[in-house]
Structure 1
Amino acid sequence: MDFIEVTINVNPDFADILIAELGELGFDAFVETENGFSAYIDEDKYAQDALEEVVNRYAGMAEVTYQTQKIARQNWNEEWERNFEPLFIGGQVSVRASFHEKPADAKYDIVINPKMSFGTGHHETTTLMIENQLTLDHQGKRVLDMGCGTGILAIMAGELGAKDIVGVEIEDWTVENARENAELNGYGSIDVRLGGAETIAGDKPYDIILANINRNVLLEDMPAYKAVLKPQGYLLLSGFYTEDLPIIQERAAELGLNYISHRVKNNWVSAIFRAS
């Protein structure tokens, strides 16, 4: 299956909201560019009318232009290698591709080869989730990463000492990529599953659950997370905006999840909740 690349030229103030809108359409990888960003989607999921509807919705507020092209799956590595810059998160975590050298001052070093999966650390939500992970004790814990993408958060859990880690993704090629990245970082024992929230029903309870997806999926699936979260366990959420935080908090409270704290970056949020 080939990909469609949509290159969006837009003011940076509107880039994040357009990324969120395109994420709702099935676009699942994004690369920042000098004038906006590029978004990627499987060819069979691409709908020109839906894209134009989103672009037209914001055209009155900002100048938005776009171009599309088809990219063969085998050429994806070339695309991200051209754009992927190493990151240093929270003063402790290096996130890099295999062709970058490890920085000498990194306490934790994560190597990610995305292969079209979301989660290189460049998006604010991934960075915020890692920063929140750094505040929690993972040592010997059982951790679930919902919507694991490249596997970066599951791998971070391993770096922090978690011993029993499960990742869940809805795309088979993303599951493959997460497994490859886990193996690359020495965490081949991470159990990466294909599916959604139904795959965790009846699981042995988790100490920490990570879910960096989007507001609608989080609201729908939070009961499933709560059902497999240990008492006093932590739920870390991201993939939504500051204006969405109250409804996330309300849903969490209904489920007996207590709000602890949240972080914000460019209007994106990652929040921590704890079970009673």
Structure 2
Amino acid sequence: MDFVEVTVKAPRELSDILVAEMAELGFDTFEDNDEGFCAYTTEDVFNPDDVAEIMSRYLGLGEVGYTHRVITRQNWNAEWEKNFQPLVIADKVSVRAPFHEARPDLAYEIVIMPRMSFGTGHHDTTALMITNQLDIDHQNKRVLDMGCGTGILAVMAVHLGADYVLAVDVEPWTAENAADNAAENNVQDKVEARLGDVTALEGEKPFDIILANINRNVLLEDMPAYAQYLKPGGPILFSGFYEEDLPLIQEAAEKAGFRYESHRTQNHWVSAVFRQPV
């Protein structure tokens, strides 16, 4: 199945509202830019009339415009290869494609072939999650990566010492891509990529660490399940939502029994760390 990219031109004060509105329509990945943002979903979810209706409500509040296009699986490699530049996160982590030069001067290196998946590290949420991971003890831990995308967080977890990572995503090509990227980084013996949503965890024993970089709505819906699958004392790292959504995430997390510890922000995006009480 192909992706639909909607490019929205809007002032900053409206962009946050429009992202929330489009998330309600099933858009689950957003990338900011200087003029607004891009929103992504799959073709089966996309309804141009619904998007037009949302945009029409805000036309009088500022300069708002949008376009959309289909990104086919066949064209995806060319798209990311054209735009994907090597990245350094927290002065410690190199994220690059196989055709970029290595950075042996940095502590960690992740090689990513995104294909149809999202999560190259360039989006603020991924960079924030990796920065938070650097503060978490992964040594000999069993880790769950929900909404794994390219598998970048799973690879990072192994680089930080994890013994096993279960990487789960709802899109078939994403699960395949995560497995391929694990092999690209020589951690395939410690990363299992699995197709599915939170129901794919049935029968799993609790994990030491959970990573969940998805979106606000999925996080809120699946919060009770996360509590079920995290060991006492274990950290859970969330991202995929804006600063104004943090109170909602915190309320749901605390209702599920988690304790807030900290959060980081970057360009209005958040990655928050909570912990399962002992």
Q: TM-score, normalised by structure 2?
A: 0.90
Identity %: 58
Corresponding residue number in structure 2 for 1:271: 272
User: Is residue 28–residue 117 contact of structure 1 (8 Å, CA) maintained in 2?
Assistant: no
Corresponding residue number in structure 2 for 1:223: 224
Corresponding residue number in structure 1 for 2:185: 185
Distance 1:107 1:17, change over 3 A: farther
Corresponding residue number in structure 2 for 1:119: 119
User: Is residue 201–residue 228 contact of structure 1 (8 Å, CA) maintained in 2?
Assistant: no
Corresponding residue number in structure 2 for 1:82: 82
Corresponding residue number in structure 1 for 2:130: 130
Say whether residues 1:242 and 2:230 are aligned partners.
no
In the TM superposition, residue 94 of structure 1 has moved relative to its aligned partner by 0.9
Q: What RMSD over aligned residues (CA atoms) do the two structures have, in Å?
A: 2.2
In the TM superposition, residue 20 of structure 1 has moved relative to its aligned partner by 5.2
User: Is residue 28–residue 214 contact of structure 2 (8 Å, CA) maintained in 1?
Assistant: no
Corresponding residue number in structure 1 for 2:173: 173
Corresponding residue number in structure 1 for 2:211: 210
For the residue of structure 1 that corresponds to 2:232, the secondary structure is strand
Between 1:37-46 and 1:80-89, the stretch displaced more is 37-46
User: Is residue 130–residue 156 contact of structure 1 (8 Å, CA) maintained in 2?
Assistant: yes
In 2, Cα distance between equivalents of 1:242 and 1:128: 13
Corresponding residue number in structure 1 for 2:9: 9
Can you give the 5+ residue segments of structure 2 that lack an aligned partner in the other structure? none
Q: Deviations over 1:220-276 (max 9, x none)?
A: 111111111111111111112222222222222222211111111122111111111
Q: How does 1:130-149 map to 2 (within 5 A)?
A: 130-149=130-149
Distance 1:252 1:61, change over 3 A: same
Corresponding residue number in structure 1 for 2:198: 197
Q: Deviations over 1:188-221 (max 9, x none)?
A: 1311111111111331221100101112211211
In 2, Cα distance between equivalents of 1:239 and 1:273: 15
Distance 1:28 1:73, change over 3 A: farther
User: Is residue 6–residue 38 contact of structure 1 (8 Å, CA) maintained in 2?
Assistant: yes
Can you give the 5+ residue segments of structure 1 that lack an aligned partner in the other structure? none
In 1, Cα distance between equivalents of 2:35 and 2:29: 17
User: Is residue 169–residue 175 contact of structure 1 (8 Å, CA) maintained in 2?
Assistant: yes
User: Is residue 31–residue 83 contact of structure 1 (8 Å, CA) maintained in 2?
Assistant: no
Corresponding residue number in structure 2 for 1:62: 62
For the residue of structure 1 that corresponds to 2:150, the secondary structure is coil
User: Is residue 211–residue 236 contact of structure 2 (8 Å, CA) maintained in 1?
Assistant: yes
In 1, Cα distance between equivalents of 2:91 and 2:170: 32
In the TM superposition, residue 32 of structure 1 has moved relative to its aligned partner by 5.8
Corresponding residue number in structure 1 for 2:91: 91
In 2, Cα distance between equivalents of 1:181 and 1:59: 42
Q: Which residue type is aligned with residue 243 of structure 2?
A: T
In 2, Cα distance between equivalents of 1:15 and 1:84: 24
Distance 1:45 1:250, change over 3 A: closer
In the TM superposition, residue 169 of structure 1 has moved relative to its aligned partner by 0.6
Distance 1:220 1:71, change over 3 A: closer
User: Is residue 201–residue 224 contact of structure 1 (8 Å, CA) maintained in 2?
Assistant: no
Alignment coverage as a number of residue pairs: 276
Distance 1:84 1:12, change over 3 A: farther
